[in-house]
Structure 1
Amino acid sequence: MILKKDNIELTCLEIDIVEQRLDLDGKYILELGCGRGDFTRRIAGQGNDRRLVATEVDEQQHTINIINNKLPNVRFELAGAQAIPANDETFDRVLMFKSLHHVPVGVIQAALLEIKRVLKPGGLLYISEPLFQGDFNEVLRLFHDEERVRAAAFNAITATVRAGNFTLQEQLFFRSSVFMPTFSMFEQSIIDVTHTDHQITAGMMKAVKVAFEKAVAVNGGVFTTDNRVDLLRK
């Protein structure tokens, strides 16, 4: 398995990859680490006969998700990937959108085995993870360097396939972008999240702002992230 790819050939919305490759209609779907539930709502709000369980470990965000949930086919649960509140062979699809590297390194393999447990035979596990490259990453790494945990996530995927827990159906790379022209937007979306206490000093905040504004001067506020998708079958 490839850890890094320098030439990204596909630029697209990730939701398009999911819809094209996963055949979600009529499926019982588990999303692990749903965050604000953006993907949850998109997936649940289109197609036919889709049922979703979306988990999150951040208690504040989980409470917000429950309060804001207006979709009858979605249930939010407070849980981590290493302890999924479901019976064996429950789900047809399991989705992880840039959340595997947030699982504590010491329990990543346990989480993958837990996913195997709750997946039906022949079920699909979709994992997307950001590569440690790109202009957005260059700003983020100044106060939140994820190189080690991202590498651990990729290594865990490789290990679980080699162990025979899953087979690799497809691996692809794509580039996504986000329009973030002001530092206040960056603060609100990235720095002020409730699931991580960044503990940024005043000096560090100044350095991050300078780096952010330099990037905006070059890219016009359109930041890119390079990603890898591993589609695994149980």
Structure 2
Amino acid sequence: MQLHDPYCSDIRDEIAVLKDVLEPLHAQGQLRNVLEIGCGTGDMTRRIADAWPDTKVCALEVDTIQLEKNQQRNRHDNITFLGGPAEHIPFGARIFDAVLMFKSLHHVPGALLDQALNEIHRVLRPGGVAYFAEPVFAGELNEIIRLFHDEEIVRQAAFEALVRASDDSRWDCAREVHYRVPVQFLDFEDFERKVMRVTHSDFQLTPERIKEVRCAFEPHMTNHGAHFGRPMRANTFVKALSRELS
């Protein structure tokens, strides 16, 4: 496994990368129930539901404010938004065909990462897929965000937890993909609203810090907004058919 591929320039859409993993299951009729953990605003949840309309998608979120918004705005018959953390998944064993985490594994407290991976293993059926898409601590957008929210340590911890899982015989390590996702903001105010003023975190923003971030952001502005290519890494594990957590 590789923390970061500095030479990767492959720009891909998140859902396209995910389709490479889930379409084979869907084609075999083995993508009936999907769990997304740490769904945030539910944007990816809705894209997943649209891509596989015959699949039931349950999305967990620990931010109660965002969870309520997701539930109120839900217009998909195949989506259920519920509260719950990765380390205590509120479901029985062997229920899901796939468990997905998009940019959320590193938000699990470091001491609970192994427990979270054990929980994901528990709720997956044998042969089910666990998919972790994590932002790489690199790139121009990362350099701006780290001015008020430095995630280097927690992202490293999440990667190390996945490395440990890859050595666990209960998992088959299927694949690792490095890519970049296009990220766009209309202006600094759009960036501030979407990234700096999220409901799940308080970044202790001061006028001085906001000014510093704005100065770093503004050089990336064009007549069509600010565009970035965020480096990502996606790791896929398959639950081994003959191994269970004792």
- Same fold? TM cut 0.5: yes
Q: Name the SS for the 1:82 alignment partner.
A: helix
Cα distance between partner residues in 2 of 1:167 and 1:9:
28
Asked whether the 8 Å contact 2:3–2:159 carries over to 1, the reply is yes
> What amino acid sits opposite 1:19 in the alignment?
K
Superposed displacement of residue 197, structure 1: 0.6
1:114 paired residue among 119, 124, 149: 119
| TM-score, length basis structure 2 | 0.91
Match of 1:3 in 2: 3
Match of 2:15 in 1: 15
Match of 1:193 in 2: 198
Q: Name the SS for the 1:221 alignment partner.
A: strand
Superposed displacement of residue 165, structure 1: 3.2
Deviates more, 1:61-70 or 1:2-11: 2-11
Superposed displacement of residue 167, structure 1: 1.7
Structure 1 residues 161-205: Cα deviation after superposition (integer angstroms, max 9, x where no partner): 112232210101001111114110011100111011111111111
Asked whether the 8 Å contact 2:4–2:178 carries over to 1, the reply is no
Structure 1 residues 18-69: Cα deviation after superposition (integer angstroms, max 9, x where no partner): 1232126442000000011111111112334200110000000000011011
Match of 2:51 in 1: 46
**Residue 37 of structure 2 corresponds to residue 37 of structure 1:** no
Match of 2:161 in 1: 156
Match of 1:100 in 2: 105
| TM-score, length basis structure 1 | 0.96
Asked whether the 8 Å contact 1:172–1:229 carries over to 2, the reply is yes
2:91 paired residue among 86, 95, 103: 86
Structure 1 moving runs of 4+ over 4 Å = none
> What amino acid sits opposite 1:6 in the alignment?
P
Asked whether the 8 Å contact 1:56–1:79 carries over to 2, the reply is yes
Cα distance between partner residues in 1 of 2:155 and 2:98:
23
Asked whether the 8 Å contact 2:114–2:161 carries over to 1, the reply is yes
**Residue 143 of structure 2 corresponds to residue 145 of structure 1:** no
Asked whether the 8 Å contact 1:113–1:165 carries over to 2, the reply is no
Cα distance between partner residues in 1 of 2:135 and 2:50:
25
Superposed displacement of residue 9, structure 1: 4.1
Cα distance between partner residues in 2 of 1:47 and 1:111:
26
Q: Name the SS for the 2:121 alignment partner.
A: helix
> What amino acid sits opposite 1:192 in the alignment?
R
| Structure 1: gaps spanning 5 or more residues | none
Cα distance between partner residues in 2 of 1:2 and 1:210:
33
Cα distance between partner residues in 2 of 1:42 and 1:220:
23
1:230 paired residue among 235, 239, 244: 235
Cα distance between partner residues in 2 of 1:61 and 1:165:
34
Structure 1 residues 189-222: Cα deviation after superposition (integer angstroms, max 9, x where no partner): 00111011111111111101101112336x9610
Cα distance between partner residues in 2 of 1:159 and 1:47:
31
Q: Name the SS for the 2:5 alignment partner.
A: coil
Match of 1:182 in 2: 187
How many residues get paired?
234
Asked whether the 8 Å contact 2:220–2:227 carries over to 1, the reply is no
User: Aligned-pair RMSD on alpha carbons?
Assistant: 1.6
